[in-house]
Chains A and B, each alone.
Chain A
Amino acid sequence: MNLKQYFKNFYRYKYLLIELVKKNIKLKYRRSYLGILWTMIEPLLTMMVLTVVFGTFFGNDDPQYPVYILCGRLLYSFFSSGSKAGLKAISSNASMIKKVYVPKYIYVFSAIISNFVTFLISLIVLVGVGIVLKVEPTIYLLQAIVPLVILFVFSLGCGLILSTLNVFFRDIEYIWSVATLLIMYASAIFYQPDKVINTGNGWIFDINPIFMCISNFRDAVLYGRQMNMNYCMASLAIAVVTVVVGAVLFYRKQDKFILYV
């Protein structure tokens, strides 16, 4: 199938993509009383806990520290829940895949997009907290979109790779949850990156696109300054490579999925 046909097909399945995204979001909150509000309450609560633990107990007295935490935590949890949902996208839609032919990348796409939508909703919390703590918006706020797009692409690439592997090896799920935990500690969500860099372990940040996106997002939202172009380019390159590798892997193996799911 050539590329033009692929895009035509994609247009044809646009409505399916919308329905799948709707389903993922609806079902996530269906049985909870507060429903979609949880996307905002949950990060707010973790922010408070982290602020108390790391701010009060460890003596970080920056009044805007909660915003610092929130930026990191919101971006990280989009990546972690998005990639996890992508990982399961094929196996959890197995009954559909066995019955009707649909381009299978639609399932991975929809998993990442639905997590991105809930992430965008949760940004309302960031706006609220930012206003309360008097963070001054600057023109650099517009740059916030760049790390978000890069993070989206990177998550999609991870989703494509992980969903393919997960069809054949069911233990990928457990390996990935350990990996995301590692990534969390290596992303300077609740500590300052200087602390690690001063110990000579700064390379951790130089290979971590999640950290680079968080850092650039903070520059745009919290510090109101030009983002770090090195981080921008490096994270973009990693994201593009991941998505290309993911697409090739997925494309090569997709016809085999049905025999294993």
Chain B
Amino acid sequence: MQKNLAICVKDLGMRFNLSQERVDNLKEFIIKFLRRDLKFNEFWALKDVSFKIKKGERLGVLGLNGSGKSTLLKVVSGVLKPSAGSIETSGVIAPLLELGAGFSPEYTGRENIYLYGAVLGFTKEFLDEKIDEIVDFSGLGEFIEVPIKNYSSGMKARLGFSIATVVEPDILILDEVLSVGDKKFRRKSENKIMSMFDRGVTVLFVSHSLEQVVRLCDRAIILDSGRLVAEGPVDKVARIYKNMTE
């Protein structure tokens, strides 16, 4: 990969198996196997997607529901392994996907900070040092000592955002996260993201708010049924997308 690139995606394909009757027990599997009745309904959520992002660039990803945006972000952040093609990334990635998910419900907010931080690859020393900052930013106050199962979905998302953004990442992957929380938190989180932008972080950004994409990104792509149909400066792509959706 060239030195000035942060992300290089080449001929990416992601295949899912969408059989209506999913076989998930042994008995059915054996019966169907013997009858040669196993159905595989293949479905490509991404197909032949290629693009490059330079360091410090902010790329918006546009597309209708089910066009493969979240799938693309999951593949880039390494959660999903692509069925075809390759991805190269350079530097520390902070993935902000489905913010409220992934917590342990019986654990308190504070315990979850350590657990989730460990999942993200932080060390104990780092978390000890940053714990006050995380708690502070989340604005959860004394709720931090309460099990997560008693949180509202907005509270969970706030905690998730606060943990994931405590690092100084090189690449920030945002999937509709600037629409979480109440208005106050939204402003706060947008400011935080903005300050990362100023430091030159590379961004991969998904949002259904065209206005937000135009404001925050400098380039954009459009996905349509898993294929990349447009790529270029954000204004131009936004115009194409507007025509597509109207």
Closest to A169 in B: B26
* Pairwise interchain contact A16-B118, C-beta atoms closer than 8 A: yes
Within A30-62, the residues touching B (CB, 8 Å) are 30
Residues in chain B near residue A170, CB distance under 8 A: 24-25
* Pairwise interchain contact A99-B16, C-beta atoms closer than 8 A: no
CA distance A260 to B79 in the complex (A): 14
CA distance A95 to B95 in the complex (A): 15
Binary contact track B20-34/A, C-beta < 8 Å → 1, others 0: 000011110100000
Number of interface residues, chain A, beta carbon within 8 A = 29
- What is the distance, in angstroms, from A63's C-beta to the closest C-beta of chain B? 44
B97 within 8 A of A: yes
Closest to A258 in B: B80
B11 within 8 A of A: no
Binary contact track B101-118/A, C-beta < 8 Å → 1, others 0: 111101100010011001
CA distance A20 to B101 in the complex (A): 17
Within B170-204, the residues touching A (CB, 8 Å) are none
* Pairwise interchain contact B104-A27, C-beta atoms closer than 8 A: yes
Number of interface residues, chain B, beta carbon within 8 A = 31
* Pairwise interchain contact B26-A172, C-beta atoms closer than 8 A: yes
Q: Which of B120-128, B133-141, B227-235 contacts A (4 or more CB under 8 A)?
A: B120-128
Binary contact track A249-261/B, C-beta < 8 Å → 1, others 0: 0000001001110
A203 within 8 A of B: no
Residues in chain A near residue B154, CB distance under 8 A: none
- What is the distance, in angstroms, from B176's C-beta to the closest C-beta of chain A? 14
Given A30-B106, A170-B25, A259-B16, A100 contacting B120 (CB threshold 8 A): yes
CA distance A26 to B123 in the complex (A): 20
B244 within 8 A of A: no
* Pairwise interchain contact A19-B101, C-beta atoms closer than 8 A: no
Binary contact track A140-174/B, C-beta < 8 Å → 1, others 0: 00000000000000000000000000001111100
* Pairwise interchain contact A13-B24, C-beta atoms closer than 8 A: no
Given A98-B101, A101-B77, A259-B17, A168 contacting B106 (CB threshold 8 A): no
* Pairwise interchain contact A98-B114, C-beta atoms closer than 8 A: no
A15 within 8 A of B: yes
B102's partner among A95, A258, A259 (CB-CB below 8 A) is A95
Binary contact track B81-102/A, C-beta < 8 Å → 1, others 0: 1000000000000010110011
Given A169-B25, A170-B25, A259-B16, A98 contacting B79 (CB threshold 8 A): yes
* Pairwise interchain contact A102-B25, C-beta atoms closer than 8 A: no
Within B33-72, the residues touching A (CB, 8 Å) are none
A134 within 8 A of B: no
A260's partner among B24, B104, B118, B122 (CB-CB below 8 A) is B24
Closest to B81 in A: A255
CA distance A99 to B17 in the complex (A): 20
A195 within 8 A of B: no
* Pairwise interchain contact B101-A99, C-beta atoms closer than 8 A: yes
Residues in chain A near residue B95, CB distance under 8 A: 99-100
* Pairwise interchain contact B24-A169, C-beta atoms closer than 8 A: yes
- What is the distance, in angstroms, from A187's C-beta to the closest C-beta of chain B? 25
* Pairwise interchain contact B24-A19, C-beta atoms closer than 8 A: no
B1 within 8 A of A: no
Residues in chain A near residue B77, CB distance under 8 A: 100-101
Q: Which residues of B contact A (CB under 8 A)?
A: 16-17, 24-27, 29, 77-81, 95, 97-98, 101-104, 106-107, 111, 114-115, 118-124
- For the complex with contacts A171-B25, A175-B26, 15 further pairs of A-B residues with Cβ separation under 8 Å are A13-B121, A18-B118, A19-B118, A23-B107, A23-B111, A27-B107, A98-B102, A99-B97, A102-B119, A168-B24, A168-B29, A169-B26, A170-B24, A171-B27, A172-B26
Top 3 nearest A-B pairs (CB, nearest first) are: A101-B78, A16-B118, A19-B118
**Would you mind naming 26 contact pairs between A and B with Cβ atoms under 8 Å apart?**
A12-B121, A15-B123, A16-B118, A16-B121, A19-B114, A20-B118, A27-B106, A27-B107, A95-B102, A95-B103, A98-B98, A98-B101, A99-B79, A99-B95, A99-B102, A100-B77, A100-B102, A100-B120, A101-B78, A168-B29, A169-B25, A170-B25, A171-B25, A171-B26, A258-B80, A259-B16
